[in-house]
Amino acid sequence: MADIFAWLISFFILIALIVLVIYQLMCLADLEFDYINPYDSASRINKVVLPEYIIVGVLCSFYLVTGHWIMALFCAPYIYYNVRLYRQGTHLIDVTEIFNLLPKEKKQRLVKLFYLVFILFLSLFWMIYTSLEDHDD
């Protein structure tokens, strides 16, 4: 029964991460269609970048603590990419370069979104599998 709660917690954490990435994509789309100025867009995105990184780290740590090694391994490339961006200093969006980097930033966040959706489906599969397995006992 505790395993089902672990999968539920990871499910809601993944939903929160997906919401953060979609929010960043919406800010970039608003900037692209000129609904928002570059300073506001960059400041809104930069406010949620570090919380996203922290939540991903917490999720991976949660998978390790609960003994879900495969899911922790699936989170590892995402964490590696975030750490690499952070160490290079390119994790925040620069207001003066935002229009030049707009296609790259949108593509980066779309890849993150698809990766998170993939992990969400895996988590959902394991949650259903665990609930059916507990039901048989």
Tokens of residue 27, six digits: 């800010």
pLDDT tens digits for range 62-117: 999 999 999 999 999 999 999 999 999 999 999 999 899 999 999 999 999 999 99
> Over 90: is that where the pLDDT of 36 sits?
yes
Nearest Cα neighbor of 11 from 112, 115, 122 is 122
Domain range for 87 is 1-134
Contacts of 14 (CB under 8 A, 6+ apart): 59, 116, 119, 120, 123
Give the pTM.
Answer: 0.93
> How many domains, in total, are found in the chain?
1
What are the helix and strand counts (H, E) for the chain? 4, 0
* Distance between CA atoms of residues 14 and 117, nearest Å: 8
What is the band of 31 on the pLDDT scale with cuts at 50, 70, 90?
very high
* Distance between CA atoms of residues 3 and 87, nearest Å: 35
